[in-house]
Structure 1
């Protein structure tokens, strides 16, 4: 190799030959380009001279002629008209011609004949100016008309002008002839240059082709020699033959590389022969141990590896199945019989599926012993044996020195072959084991087949019976198909009726919503004014008159509750009632219900108990508002029909069995409202859940009410996924129980209970609820002090800060009903506010845009003539740009979408009629404070 390196430094390579040839061609091209460049520069200068010089000469000649004509035209115009304006072209030409003349005389400095012609032209111009131009202008300026006329008659300058035209034409023609001569000469020289260019190109092409033939012949000759040598080797098949190269270029490199390739191919053939021999040997063993020992022995012989161990993967363990020259005593002392994945280098190799190597091992880490002594291995190699991408064995090898890359490649190839043989042997052993087991099973199956023969005969007779039953079922199926067609036609008719019912329900809902608006509008003013009268702030009313006002206010409240119940029932029937499921904490219910009914219990002298019986979940998923509404309805009925004794609310968890699902139960939360009131007859228990129905018409009139509460409650319970059951006995009381699912994920949970339970069953249920885990019973004392209920009418007390906030504020009330305006004005003026009213949207916009009104708050009604509240609010926000004034919408329609439509139109807040003065003041204070903080 050293000689070859020295040889490479003293050679004339193919690259050098090719580069030399190209250098010659490039040099010739450089010479040609230099000659051509010089000639092209000369031609370019000639071309530039013609393009610029001749064009400038022609332009200046025309300019001088134009200057003379301008002077003549200006002189004649001035003499004819006497207008000084005609002197401008004369003056301009007089000042320009001399400058153009000097430029032109400089350009033709190389042509004496043309210079002489140009000087003659100059003398005639000067003479015309002296004898015609200046004298005539001076005569006209002096105003001697007779002399001017005489001058025109003689016209001494005409001859000079005629001579000038003739001389300028001659001068211009001479220049044109000179230009044509230069162009002809330039064309001739260009043709000569083109001829020279073709000649040089042919010469360079000939030289280049000759050089290419010389260089390529030199290269191809050597390559042909190498090709012939390789062809002889391939035909003879003798890999021992080598190429002899005598050149000193890249062909020599080719020869040396070819010889190395032959050496490598010869070595690979030798290795393939060895691999083939080992693969053939590994087909003979029939056990894993025998195959593994044979493989380790062949590997040690081939690569001179003195130590090896093989581990087989079985049941997620690595079992040592064979070793070569292993130290048995040390291995038994270490207990290395089986390894887990990831344990040691062998286990880690199985996990990572890659070769692991470790060199420079410490002394006595692995001892390689013989009869004469022992030595320590210095290198450890762990190789995974893979089959179809999974590890089936791990090979551990130790040697005295690190293995070379060629040896590692050979080990990997041998491991791949061994993996196939190992898997085949293991599969063959497993198949043999299965075959042995199948032999045993075959004998058992033989005995069972005799039994099956007897059973087959019995089944044959049963098959005949089934055939007869099948014919009967076929006839039954035909009758069912006929009934199915009738049922489908009935279903279509029911679908049409259902669509009509939905349409009718929608009309009814819209009618009730509009009727609600018509009822709430007068009710709003009645409630506000009656509340003001009941307060008797100025002490103008007697005690009896104040009571009258309180009665009116309470009657209006009852009417409002009736309207709300009718709307709720309408929404439920129309499918427009929506529920929002959120966590509801059960321990908060007693306090909420006490706020509503503790005062009622005290007034009627009844014991009111609320019990939470454990175990109970902390919270359930349901609609808190609807749950409160149902419980309030049930408790209101209990208090209404109970004159003595107690009313109790018990909350517990229980499991209910489904009548149509054997062995299945549903966990529910039971809210039981029990009372010791008048009770209900069994035959009328179902009737109380119908709208506008009560157990007894006389009772209804005695105790009041519309009969909507239970109907609405039952509908709301269904929306929440539960139901309400009732049990009662006349004279002893009633128990109404609301069942709600504990797990909201059970979508088909519908608690169906028989509402016609006997009183003793209800009493048993109540007793069972009360007896459960008394230690966890939570009771809320009826002596708890709570705030007054919203039902009570009392004067609204304001702090000094609140009075200062609202006093003197200007409020704009927009409402077409004068009763509402009057009621709101009286209520708000009690607190020192200034109230301005507008009866429709148009009047409101007029006041804001042109009336100079700047209210602090706008109270906006929705349903008004000409322009409703939505459009008025949009106009205020968008057209007038008044975005800082709070706009509180007051609507009597009270539908679910009204609030969203109001906010979308630009409203700040929303209140439904009838209005509570306290709520109105609270919202106004809130938004006025908000605007004050913003500013």
Structure 2
């Protein structure tokens, strides 16, 4: 739909909607007021009917009451005489008609659960009948037995109204009916009368028809006025829309070209109204898009340092472009840092793999590679003494890089002594950017100068301190460089632990071999001694045998000499 058609449509809607809305609200209020009046009229008529019904029933009640009182005052009646007189009063009531002959009385007793009919003016055959037939279940609220409900109300309150449905005499239509009943306590009689309410409903229906006719007349008037207003409004809108759409179409064509990514020129206008302000804003946007394009081109070519000025503080696109440049710079820096980090880990890992047998060589190689890769000026690596229960542990200088000889006259540093000793005690990285004047100086071709950064990192593996690294530099170390050294320190500590274990194992193996050779020599000497001892034992055994033979010979000689001496 074209703009001019839209303006015409919107103008029509702007004229019609308020008219329809106002008319609808007016009609709604008129209808509500009329409905309220009808409801009030219906209630008033209903109350009048109830009041009239009550008066009629009170008259019948008065007849019964008067007849009963006269009997009680004039004679000393017996029960049969009184019953016959009261029966006569029921016959009198059955002859009374009202409401143009449609109204009549009926009387029941008040026995429960179901009363008995004593007199019914229209249906005399009901006399003496217990009113428990389901056809009497016509009470309006719950479809209960109408005579039972009247008895309950009168026994509880003495009188009351009850609504129910009943076929109107002479027709087949079921109409709403209301009855009023009053209990005559001395006899237990319930005197009742009722009226149909269809006349009230007919009056209400007539008033509603009159209301609808009035509303229809109002609607016709409103439509006529709306058509006149719409015609005038359309004529005015067509006049002004012609002038407005020309400028807007120019703006539309420019925006369409911008939407296609085309290069456009600024629009020249003399308008001073809101449309003129729109054109000025569009011209500002055209200028801004040119600057956006140039900036995006530079960013696309990798120039992340290109200057750019947003159109305002609220320039969403301009600020997003600046944020994009910062994010690209951040991503580039992070990538460079990751690449630098991973490359350094690979180089230092290679150094650690090459030197895993000698602690001194490992320390020299790793320190040289670390100092070179970080481009710092000086560094030192310290190894911790073995943990012994009866000795205080200390750090011993194992390797240095570019330190002045005076720096480490003391080659052993106790745990907790100085920054290096304190670093291993606290097991924390010390990154100092405010250096004490007398702590250290860097020697170069230009003389001595204080460093900008001191970094001391403990070498810890499996919660065991193996040493520390100290580095000094003219340049401040970045956070990622410090993290890199901390990561490398873990690998150095792990490698130092392995190298120390290997060296300790090698020393134990050499000592074991030496002990084995000594044990072999001792075993050989013991074997020789054993052989000599065995030879001595054999010689002693032979000598013992010789002695035993000599003893035998001596004993034989003695035995031979003994008889001769006896003779």
TM-score w.r.t. length of structure 2: 0.43
Q: Which structure carries more relative contact order (alpha carbon 8 Å, separation 6+)?
A: 2
Choose 1 or 2 for highest CA Rg: 2
TM-score w.r.t. length of structure 1: 0.28
